[in-house]
Amino acid sequence: MAARRPARRRPTRPQQVRIIGGDWRRRQIPVPDAPGLRPTADRVRETLFNWLAPRLPGARCLDMFAGTGVLGLEALSRGAAHCCFVESEPAIATALQDQLAQLGGRERATVVNGAAPQMLSRCPGPFDCVFLDPPFGAGLLQPTLDQLVPYLAPGHRVYIEYGTSDTVRWSSGWQSLRDGRAGQVRYHLLEFQPSTDSPKETP
């Protein structure tokens, strides 16, 4: 009896996410094969960058849990002056540096390999726009917001994203200016305004 030949696997096309606006519009960004890596969906980014449109030209940005870096790349594409990307995985940080080189954006970016938020001091601030999209359920959102306050420029905006099953609690002073939901994702646009109110909890 002839031996069976092993089934031939079809090559899989690498997952990609596209930049949706600005100078790099429609450019495809590869998504590395890494556990928990979850780029922000197109429709959420469309909403976010409509909110941020008046603030982006010349802005200094921070993409704190960068992953693919698509939020920071989108900001640079739309006219931000600089973005600091913080990514804990060395291979993903290297891939992001390579992607910036391909786009011609290296001179307007800093890529820091290390754990957020401990790497804040290595990012050139203060920041006008900040993107915080930590792994869902990891409990990183609140401590990162707390450490971020001294690095914020006047008139800043901070975008946060978390799972609908997470209970997110942020300190007094953080005000939600806009918010939305897409599937299992909740997102807010925040501003820090010091106050004496009690901490806010969101479902």
Which positions ≥6 away from 27 have C-beta within 8 Å?
A: 18, 19, 77, 103
Q: Residue 147: how many CB atoms within 10 A of its CB?
A: 15
Q: Which CATH class is domain 16-202?
A: alpha beta
Q: What is the pLDDT of residues 104-156, one digit of tens each?
A: 999 999 999 998 888 898 998 899 999 999 888 788 898 899 999 999 999 99
Amino acid code (one letter) for 32: P
The angle formed by the CA atoms of residues 12, 15 and 17, to the nearest 5 degrees, is 155
Q: What is the pLDDT of residue 14?
A: 44
Residue 127 tokens, joined: 């920041």
Q: What would the mean pLDDT of 154-171 be, rounded to a whole number? A: 90
Q: What is the pLDDT of residue 19?
A: 95
Using 50, 70 and 90 to split pLDDT, how confident is the model at 45? very high
Cβ-based burial of 114 (10 A; exposed 0-12, middle 13-18, buried ≥19): middle
Distance CA 17, CA 28 (A): 6
Where are the chain's structural domains? 16-202
Q: What is the pLDDT of residue 126?
A: 95
The pLDDT > 70 percentage for the chain reads 88
